[in-house]
Amino acid sequence: MKAIIGILFLCVSLPALAGYESIDCYKESLGRGLPEVLRVRLCQEAIDEKPIKCYDALAGQGFPDEIRVRLCTVTDYGVPLVCLNSIVGYGLSRNEKVELCNGAKDASPLDCYESAHGRGLFRVDRVKLCGGAKNTEPVKCFDSAHGLDLPDHLKVHLCRDTI
């Protein structure tokens, strides 16, 4: 019964063209021991089986299911691993690594994070500024806000989604 409710939720909440792929993803997710709500979240925007492959690839990394789903919801297979594995020697916590790589299409968040070094930002603010970044534009935006009478964390908030 729960599986039927999950499939119905997927069908109602999706554009017509994405529905079939989401259903295929959902069916593929069965048997992985994921709670219903996480299976739906993982597959609700799927356009192919890549979220499931990504989820499976993160199995040996020690991340809980909810984090694996968050990293893999809309992604290319292996991308979170590329990003996560490229973060070595930065002293970031596991949660900070997840925040930095969430939504990543490649290792660009790390390039952004490195670019933000030397600007007087706390590590947590650099992670927030560059989380999921596609390039170093968030850092350029932060630099352009230099003359504003705002604390750094508000400049980070203004610039973190810069494309």
pLDDT tens, residue by residue, 19-48: 567 788 888 888 888 888 888 888 887 777
Residue 74 pLDDT grade (very low, low, confident, very high; cuts 50, 70, 90): low
Name the more confident of 113 and 7. 113
Residue 123 has phi, psi (to 5 degrees) of: -55, -45
Whether residue 8 is predicted with pLDDT greater than 70 in this model: the reply is no
**3-state SS class at 96:** helix
Q: Which two tokens stand for residue 22?
A: 């989401």
- CA distances to 10, 39, 66 from 22, in Å: 7, 10, 18
Q: Which of 4-13, 52-61, 125-134 has the lowest mean pLDDT?
A: 4-13
* Cβ-Cβ contacts under 8 Å for 43 (sequence gap 6 or more): 10, 22, 23, 25, 26, 29, 51, 52
Q: Domain spans of the chain?
A: 2-72, 79-159
